Structure 1
Amino acid sequence: MLPPLYYLFLQGELSLTVVNYSTGIAAFAAVMLYSISQFARRVVGRMYLDSSGTTLKVSHLTFWGRRNDLYMPVNDVMTFGDVGDSPNETILYFKRYSTTDIMYFSTRFGRVVDKRGFEKVFGTLI
């Protein structure tokens, strides 16, 4: 919307106030979109434990909304005790020993299908 508004301003059809408000709103929208997407791409969508129980597949979205799968050994994932989270919190940290990246997941809004496998990776639920 900004290029047509700037064109109309240069033609004398719009006032500087309208152009300034429109530019401010567009800049605010861009900053909020970027900020929210930085959080949203760190939210874990699904986690899968392979049949041998040694590899964890973590799925999340990229900035552009595509699915990204991360494969990691189970012994690289920090348990609740290592992270310092209580299992009954709404949003839990997903941390690894090999990197400083932090992701987020929720057992309250999500669902644990394999409780035994979940407790093998993260420790006891309650």
Structure 2
Amino acid sequence: MMVSVIRCRTTYLVLRRSCFHWARSGDRLHPDWPVQLGSVRPSLPVVTAVVKCSSSSSSCSPVEEEEFSMIYSQPHMRLLRAVSRLKLLQTSVTVLLLPPVFLLHLQGSASLFLLGYSTAVALFAGAMLYTASHFLRRVVGAMYLDRSQSTLKVSHLDFWGRRCDLHLAVEDVMTVGDTGDSQEEAILRLRRYSSSETLYFSTRLGRVVDRPGFQKVFGTLS
């Protein structure tokens, strides 16, 4: 009796050690055996993160800059940027001075004429800022063409006077003949087939750096 008990216990320990070894080593069990917890390792999906650069980003990596070559440049963009920021500063100062004038008028230290004059100046400064930014944001500062000549990068100013880049398909950009402008005009329009937004550039006030690349986008120049 004692020998049988010892043999049964020895067999149980051997089987337990073997099962533990199979579970740790990840070996495939027999298909007829029941699946045990811990013996199957679930496969997790692999997630791949893709990082893309914004098309309107003002800062580009050196690799991205090498993929584009300049075809047009506007040398007066620094002056236009200074005017844009100056108008923004002037409007901000005018609006900030308006509440103290109201307070002085309530206290009786400022006349009604001064209050009306300050309000009119603030409104006029806001209107001028909107008008100036409306035109300055549509002036093309530079244009770049990629190596495959399929993408046009257009740089212009935003409302705050910062550089803003647009990436356009060359096939979507209208030529000078399609826009209806004459090649002899000082200011030309940059228009697209898929959008009603219009930008402006000038071959007289600006400089065509790469003439073949420029003609690839806007057609043959006289």
Secondary structure of the 1:97 match is coil
For 1:1-126, what aligned pairs fall within 5 Å after superposition?
1-126=97-222
Bigger Rg over Cα: 2
User: Distance in 2 between the 1:66 and 1:36 partners?
Assistant: 14
Structure 1, unpaired ranges of 5+: none
Report 1 or 2 for greater relative contact order, CA contacts < 8 Å, sequence distance ≥ 6. 2
Structure 2, unpaired ranges of 5+: 1-96
Greater percentage in strand: 1
Secondary structure of the 1:101 match is coil
Q: Which amino acid aligns with 2:116?
A: N
Secondary structure of the 1:20 match is helix
RMSD: 0.8
User: Distance in 2 between the 1:89 and 1:110 partners?
Assistant: 13
Q: Percent identity?
A: 62
User: Distance in 1 between the 2:206 and 2:137 partners?
Assistant: 16
Corresponding residue pairs, total: 126
**TM (normalized to structure 2)?**
0.56
Q: Which amino acid aligns with 1:68?
A: C
**TM (normalized to structure 1)?**
0.96
User: Distance in 2 between the 1:80 and 1:52 partners?
Assistant: 21
> 1:87 offset after TM fit, Å?
1.5
Q: Which amino acid aligns with 2:180?
A: G
User: Distance in 2 between the 1:8 and 1:52 partners?
Assistant: 64
- 1:80/1:123 contact within 8 Å kept: yes
> 1:43 offset after TM fit, Å?
1.0
Deviation readout 1:16-58 (Å, 9 max, x if unpaired):
0111011101101111111110111111110001111111101
- 1:88/1:125 contact within 8 Å kept: no
